[in-house]
Amino acid sequence: MNSSNNADIHSQRILILDYGSQYTQLIARRVREIGVYCEIFSWDFPGAEKFAQTAQGIILSGGPESTTLEDTPYVPDYVLDANVPVLGICYGMQALAKKLGGTVSESSQREFGFAQVVVKQTGKLFSNLSDGKNQHDESLLDVWMSHGDKVTSLPEGFVTLASTDNAKYAAIANEDKKLYGLQFHPEVTHTKSGEQMLSCFLTDICGCDASWTADNIVEDIIDRVKTQVGSEHVILGLSGGVDSSVVAALLHKAIGKQLTCIFVDNGLLRLHEGDQVMDTFSKHMGVKVIRVNAEDRFLSALNGIDDPELKRKKIGNLFIEIFQEEARRIKDARWLAQGTIYPDVIESAAAATGKAHLIKSHHNVGGLPDDMELSLVEPLRELFKDEVRRLGDELGLPYEMIHRHPFPGPGLGVRILGEVKKEYADILRRADHIFIKELREHDLYDQVSQAFTVFLPVRSVGVMGDGRKYQYVVALRAVETIDFMTARWAHLPYDFLDLVSRRIINEIDGISRVAYDISGKPPATIEWE
């Protein structure tokens, strides 16, 4: 099924109501991975009702609150009025049970982490799932629990699908009404058969087919972009990062010569990065890319500035200034393409409702001033990062480009502590190149979520041969994380760190010492500035 034979890949959709769980986005990603389109709305967002009326099913997320208290988030009437299958997860299950006349109580024994539930009835949700058997030959499922409250009496028409010693109602169902509740989290990978449970819910119970696939999404976006921009011209700020690269490849496929990309080399990129971007897009794909070499302008704008937030602002503003200068030269441009992705959309909605808080002002190319009169094309607005990557693979972009670690907008500007100087950037680029290359060669690159080198403008004494060195220090940083909100420092092998350290000190004149950052987030952040 694809858009060229007129199938609408959005026609089957799942509503995810968010009750504040840290896993809500993960639920959405799992649903999409199974091949079904879904959107997340806060449980009290008025627009969610309209979406519910066109959805094949509704999932209620977990959340930090307790339904045993007054005025806590509840299940709105329209959820049941929509007459579609509903799956409540953790808090979502408790809120659903309460809505239907069951009771929820505070549990004396909280359950966090791994647990085994005993299957009492498979129902449609568990079909033939089993991760083992107990001594009574009952099936066991390995699950991830995280709850304080529990359902203590079932609403009418419900049966128990699974129990633990602590939670009699660990999974419940009313098969006639297609209402389901799981006290555990099927969306996390620790729940071994979680994906199959979600898949049973989406396909067998909600009746969705799996048409949300990379090739269908590509076709759908191409069709929509063509309709949106017609024969008009589009410009795109290409950074070489995953999102803007995928937008460039998609738009090139959709509108070819009507696309002009602007690539600003700000002198704060990684080694050979500018040339690689030009090679991939201009040379190999035939995309029209204007390269602006602006190292001098960025370095002079940063001259004498050492405050991290001010550096971010300077870099961001100058980027927009240069981008505008170039964009104005493209006479017939009517559209500005941006690589906004779904988490950005969710985040700005959260910020608008006061639910997000800012730790650092992350720079993204903002809109351009009104006098440029450009309308926005945002082809990735509905997609999660892993979906964007799958599209990149589908479009044939180089693996290294699509699967590389995130690189912040201000680039090395926030990895050189304090004032940025060309000398520092040149040293840092070379050290970072060694670190990243060795990570790849030792098959460690894909095992960490982000790795980079930080330049410390302090001098330290060293000896090389008979000589004394008095040179700069760099720190290596590598973290493992799922959402970049919290992170664990990567426990890279000592031998590996030893090799990287020796290579950096021996090969780069200017560095006498290498440190490894062993700070988690929190309390540290991933970047040093």
According to the binding rule CB under 6 A, does residue 409 interact with ligand XMP?
yes
Indicate the residue among 161 and 451 with the shorter CB distance to ligand XMP.
Answer: 451
Q: How far apart are CA 291 and CA 277, in angstroms?
A: 10
Indicate the residue among 130 and 525 with the shorter CB distance to ligand XMP.
Answer: 525
Q: How far apart are CA 134 and CA 141, in angstroms?
A: 10
According to the binding rule CB under 6 A, does residue 488 interact with ligand XMP?
no
Q: How far apart are CA 257 and CA 252, in angstroms?
A: 7
Which letter does DSSP use for residue 359 in this model?
S
Q: Which position among 273, 408, 434, 436 is part of the footprint of ligand XMP (CB under 6 A)?
A: 408
In sequence order, which ranges of 151-306 are alpha helices (DSSP H)?
194-199, 214-229, 242-255, 273-278, 295-302
Q: Which of 38, 39, 147, 187 is catalytic?
A: 187
Q: How far apart are CA 45 and CA 221, in angstroms?
A: 27
In whole angstroms, the minimum distance from the beta carbon of 237 to ligand XMP comes to 13
According to the binding rule CB under 6 A, does residue 393 interact with ligand XMP?
no
Q: How far apart are CA 480 and CA 491, in angstroms?
A: 9
Indicate the residue among 100 and 365 with the shorter CB distance to ligand XMP.
Answer: 365
Handedness of CA 63, 66, 72, 73 (dihedral sign): positive
Angle value at C-alpha 170, between 68 and 202, nearest 5 degrees: 105
According to the binding rule CB under 6 A, does residue 283 interact with ligand XMP?
no
Span from 207-215, 299-307, 438-446, 518-526 in contact with ligand XMP (CB under 6 A): 518-526
Contact at 8 Å (CB) between 181 and 97? Answer: yes
In whole angstroms, the minimum distance from the beta carbon of 474 to ligand XMP comes to 17
According to the binding rule CB under 6 A, does residue 413 interact with ligand XMP?
no
Show contacts with ligand XMP in window 301-340 (CB under 6 A).
Answer: 312
Helix H or strand E encompassing 9: none
Q: Which of 38, 90, 208, 261 is catalytic?
A: 90
- Residue 185 is among the residues annotated as catalytic for this protein: yes
Indicate the residue among 180 and 528 with the shorter CB distance to ligand XMP.
Answer: 528
Nearest to 161 by CA among 129, 209, 126, 121: 121
Contact at 8 Å (CB) between 14 and 366? Answer: no
According to the binding rule CB under 6 A, does residue 226 interact with ligand XMP?
no
In sequence order, which ranges of 159-271 are alpha helices (DSSP H)?
194-199, 214-229, 242-255
According to the binding rule CB under 6 A, does residue 480 interact with ligand XMP?
no
In whole angstroms, the minimum distance from the beta carbon of 60 to ligand XMP comes to 29
Show contacts with ligand XMP in window 431-470 (CB under 6 A).
Answer: 450
Residues sharing a CB contact under 8 Å with residue 488, sequence separation 6 or more, in sequence order: 479, 480, 481, 520
Task: Report which residue type is found at 241.
Answer: G
Tell me the site size for ligand XMP, rule CB under 6 A: 15
In whole angstroms, the minimum distance from the beta carbon of 235 to ligand XMP comes to 20
In whole angstroms, the minimum distance from the beta carbon of 80 to ligand XMP comes to 40
Q: Helix, strand, coil % (nearest 5) of the chain?
A: 35, 25, 40
Residues sharing a CB contact under 8 Å with residue 15, sequence separation 6 or more, in sequence order: 38, 39, 41, 48, 51, 52, 55, 57, 58, 59
In whole angstroms, the minimum distance from the beta carbon of 212 to ligand XMP comes to 27
Which letter does DSSP use for residue 487 in this model?
B
Handedness of CA 291, 292, 295, 299 (dihedral sign): negative
According to the binding rule CB under 6 A, does residue 132 interact with ligand XMP?
no
Nearest to 15 by CA among 2, 4, 24: 24
Contact at 8 Å (CB) between 417 and 529? Answer: yes
Q: How far apart are CA 453 and CA 428, in angstroms?
A: 7
According to the binding rule CB under 6 A, does residue 192 interact with ligand XMP?
no
- Residue 187 is among the residues annotated as catalytic for this protein: yes
Indicate the residue among 393 and 527 with the shorter CB distance to ligand XMP.
Answer: 527
According to the binding rule CB under 6 A, does residue 244 interact with ligand XMP?
no
Span from 178-186, 266-274, 349-357, 520-528 in contact with ligand XMP (CB under 6 A): 520-528
Q: How far apart are CA 88 and CA 61, in angstroms?
A: 6
Span from 213-221, 283-291, 404-412, 508-516 in contact with ligand XMP (CB under 6 A): 404-412
According to the binding rule CB under 6 A, does residue 525 interact with ligand XMP?
yes
According to the binding rule CB under 6 A, does residue 428 interact with ligand XMP?
no
Q: Which position among 375, 406, 488, 498 is part of the footprint of ligand XMP (CB under 6 A)?
A: 406
Span from 166-174, 290-298, 367-375, 408-416 in contact with ligand XMP (CB under 6 A): 408-416
According to the binding rule CB under 6 A, does residue 69 interact with ligand XMP?
no
Q: Which position among 410, 412, 434, 489 is part of the footprint of ligand XMP (CB under 6 A)?
A: 410
Indicate the residue among 84 and 412 with the shorter CB distance to ligand XMP.
Answer: 412
According to the binding rule CB under 6 A, does residue 484 interact with ligand XMP?
yes
According to the binding rule CB under 6 A, does residue 237 interact with ligand XMP?
no
Alpha carbon separation from 475 to 417, 488, 505, 528 (Å, rounded): 11, 16, 12, 10
Q: Which of 39, 111, 147, 185 is catalytic?
A: 185
String marking each residue 341-380 x if it binds ligand XMP according to CB under 6 A: ------------------xx-xx-----------------
According to the binding rule CB under 6 A, does residue 130 interact with ligand XMP?
no
In whole angstroms, the minimum distance from the beta carbon of 528 to ligand XMP comes to 8
Q: Where are the beta strands (DSSP E) in 29-102?
A: 37-42, 57-60, 86-89
According to the binding rule CB under 6 A, does residue 257 interact with ligand XMP?
no
- Count CB-CB contacts under 10 A for residue 355: 13
- Residues with active-site annotation: 90, 185, 187
Residues that bind ligand XMP (CB under 6 A): 312, 359-360, 362-363, 406, 408-410, 450, 484, 521, 525-527
